[in-house]
Structure 1
Amino acid sequence: MSRWHIRPRPLPRESITSWLIRIAEAKGTKHHSLMKELVPGLEFWTRDSDLVAPPELIEALAVKTGVPLERARCTALSAYEGVLAECISGANQSFMVVPLGVRHRIRKAHGQAFCPQCLAEETAYLPLTWRLRLFPTCTRHGTILMDACLDCGAPYQPHRGGMRLCDRCALDLTTLEARTADPNVLTLQAHNELVLDGCAVAWPYLNGTHPIAFFAMELALFRAIVSRGWGSRVRDALQPSIGTLEFEYRAKTPSIRAMTTISAHNAMRGVERLLRGWPFGLVGLCGEARAWASWIVPEETGVQTPFALRDALDTYLRPGSSNAR
């Protein structure tokens, strides 16, 4: 298999779908024709390919572009296994990944976020982090990511309409104005991006925590904040310090998987507040909310709580604990 004459290399944190879209545009060929050349018969655009990119495709891309195989592998979400979560796959998709809802090459869900300012740059591309629940901002431009066309509400589908246009109404997405992100959320996400890149966890009082445990803690706190029922008490306790948290969903039944990027950003405001001065930012606020450990981490089959979070909950928020006052 010979190398291509035109062979764009993957950009920092770029997803495999973004990389393939850029290659097709540079070569002046259709996306489906490009896939036939790489791996004949592979159904790529009919599934969440960032999540389930097959090894044979990544290997073919590495050969055709001259990119080292390990670098090519970093364009798929599986590259974050052992860091973001133990397993990231289509068979066991975690709450960490925002679903696309792919059906017959059409995306029904709003799982691919974008930054209008990034798309307006000379080389537009999509980082893998824009598929992740805990990463709702663009740290380069300090804005909240967008996940739909503001004119028609369609999900962002760059493989159909190109990087910069809505495939349904042809709106130029670079003309949209994204909301400014909370500085504290940007600080937490910038830290988290470095952890995904291989740096150690350096969050105050949680230095050296294993990355999987650290991200699992964030997700547990995220779920506690957005949960219905008892979660309202946690939000009420957060209100004096960060204001009212409001959530919107793109489905009739509210769920984390259907949250908008703005709602995810609001939830991360609460997560960042609870992580401050660990564990007393969490303990103090839960004391005000009169929330016990089971409210923060409900007992769920197959769900393991990181030790750092479980230890804080057992020490301070279990009924009968000498510190639970």
Structure 2
Amino acid sequence: MPDESISSWFTRTAAANGLRPGELYRIVQPGGDRNPRDLDRHADDCLLDLLAGKTGVPVDDLKHATFRRWAGRLFEHDDGLNKLVWLPPAGREGGRRCFGQQVCPWCLRADAQPYLRLNWRLSFSTTCPIHGRLLLDRCPSCAEPFSILRQDGRGAICCPGCGADLRDFTGDEPAFDTISVQRDLLGLIREGWRDLGDYGPVYSFVVLEILAQLLRLLAGGKHAHALRLWLAEQAPSLAVRPESLPRARDGALLTPRARGVLVAMAHWLLAEWPHRFVEAAKAAGMTSTDLRKRSVGEYPFAYAHAVDWHLKEPHKGDATEEIMVAAQMLHDHGQSASRQNLVALCGTKLGSMGGVADPVASGLPWGKGRYWKLDGVSPEVKAAARLAAHRAGEDVGPWLDALLRRMLGLCAIKTPFDRHDPDTITLDANVGCEG
């Protein structure tokens, strides 16, 4: 089938043999899980070679039906462990619901034999280019994420939760036309590079990583609302009602409608890089501290350089004298010039506060501090003390306090809860010892 994913092909092959996908997987992979992992990503060479030998399908065609098709273009490489940008997992992984599998009910109804397209796994593809309707990433009846590998072998593509036939649903219309954005991004993947303004030709997976970073800024965070408002003023065609775009830290958790709008916004910011992005960040009051949480090497150079060059916070000079004045003010008011009090008084955290703030510890010599040191007490003595206190019906602390008071000639402290007279307590020298 054109553009069919390996998971869809594997499920159809299992159904043709009267099996469920999990049953066929355990046949070709003895000892495998009852519910196989996402084959679109995790199908290894051994499994593909075995399937090619048993079915006669060329192994290169099977590899082309997996995420390997986009290696070096959508992502640099896949180690099977880290998240892939624009390719979220599907179904359930580790108890989490993952909405990486999208479907078009209109296409499924038009198919002589329903199957899933691999392009539906791309999270920036939210609208069917043929029917112009939004894709579905969860069951409209029970909100269960789609996972074709959990089918029951009936041949139809159904919801794994409630069993509803996906062909019976209807996709909604998008907020505005996002197909042009999808086509541009698919063309970027095919070309493998793009001219990114002053930064020259850049690999496609780097451009898409920058686009994903812009999507995260628009999807959630304290500046997301300000960015959306500014962008709606600059590009009225992208303006939508704020309540229709919920905030989410992970854009993959958004519905296709909301995700499609935010992808279009991020795509607009990516144009004329980095001028639109810098202007939007300044209008929203964002600085390099807000835009770069990790080290520079973990971001694409075109993004990190644009942030550091245009949005770097002004250098804060040495404020030691001001901090010393603040510390003296705290002392004059009878307060400790601790780091916490200095931050509360100055309203900001400065690195030079550590050298001016009062030390937390008292700095008393050994043996005169707040806590006792019991390093010199042998384990045998500790065990004997616990057992003796237990026999006396006391905790170790009160029992030891009463014993030391007796040995040192101090007055015993009696409370209504005392079970024994401290003066009658005797130390059994043989407690905890052998013989």
| Change beyond 3 A, Cα 1:143–1:316 | farther
2:282 is paired with a residue whose SS is: helix
Q: CA–CA distance in 1 between the matches of 2:25 and 2:164? A: 27
- How many pairs does the alignment contain? 305
Superposition deviation, residue 221 in structure 1: 0.6
2:301 aligns to what? 307
* Conservation of the 8 A alpha-carbon contact between 2:91 and 2:101: no
Residue 256 of structure 2 is aligned with which of 254, 261, 275?
Answer: 261
TM-score, structure 2 normalization: 0.61
Q: CA–CA distance in 2 between the matches of 1:76 and 1:248? A: 32
Range with bigger deviation, 172-181 or 16-25: 172-181
2:103 is paired with a residue whose SS is: coil
1:65-118 Cα offsets, whole Å, 9 max, x none, are 3333222112222443322222334421234332335369x9833332111112
TM-score, structure 1 normalization: 0.80
In structure 1, stretches of 5+ residues that fail to align are: 1-9
Query: 2:226 matched to 1:230?
Result: no
1:102 is paired with a residue whose SS is: strand
Superposition deviation, residue 270 in structure 1: 1.2
1:175 aligns to what? 168
Q: CA–CA distance in 2 between the matches of 1:194 and 1:114? A: 21
1:214 aligns to what? 207
1:183-215 Cα offsets, whole Å, 9 max, x none, are 66322221222344x423457858842012111
Q: CA–CA distance in 1 between the matches of 2:269 and 2:306? A: 12
2:274 aligns to what? 279
Query: 2:82 matched to 1:92?
Result: yes
2:47 is paired with a residue whose SS is: helix
Residue 265 of structure 2 is aligned with which of 267, 270, 283?
Answer: 270
Tell which has more relative contact order, 1 or 2 (C-alpha 8 A, sep 6+): 1
1:53 aligns to what? 43
Query: 2:183 matched to 1:190?
Result: yes
1:258-310 Cα offsets, whole Å, 9 max, x none, are 32222221211211221233333323333332333443x32225872222333
1:208-260 Cα offsets, whole Å, 9 max, x none, are 420121111111111111122122221221222222454448xxx85335322
Q: CA–CA distance in 2 between the matches of 1:49 and 1:177? A: 27
2:110 is paired with a residue whose SS is: coil
Q: CA–CA distance in 1 between the matches of 2:157 and 2:124? A: 24
Q: 1:2-151, aligned counterparts within 5 Å?
A: 11-12=2-3, 14-43=4-33, 45-100=35-90, 102=92, 108-122=97-111, 123-151=113-141
* Runs of 4+, deviation exceeding 4 Å: 202-207
Range with bigger deviation, 32-41 or 16-25: 32-41
1:134 is paired with a residue whose SS is: coil
In structure 2, stretches of 5+ residues that fail to align are: 316-435
Which amino acid is the alignment partner of residue 228 of structure 2? R
Q: Radius of gyration: which is bigger? A: 2
| Identity value in percent | 25
Range with bigger deviation, 171-180 or 106-115: 106-115
Which amino acid is the alignment partner of residue 185 of structure 2? N
Q: CA–CA distance in 2 between the matches of 1:195 and 1:107? A: 31
2:239 aligns to what? 243
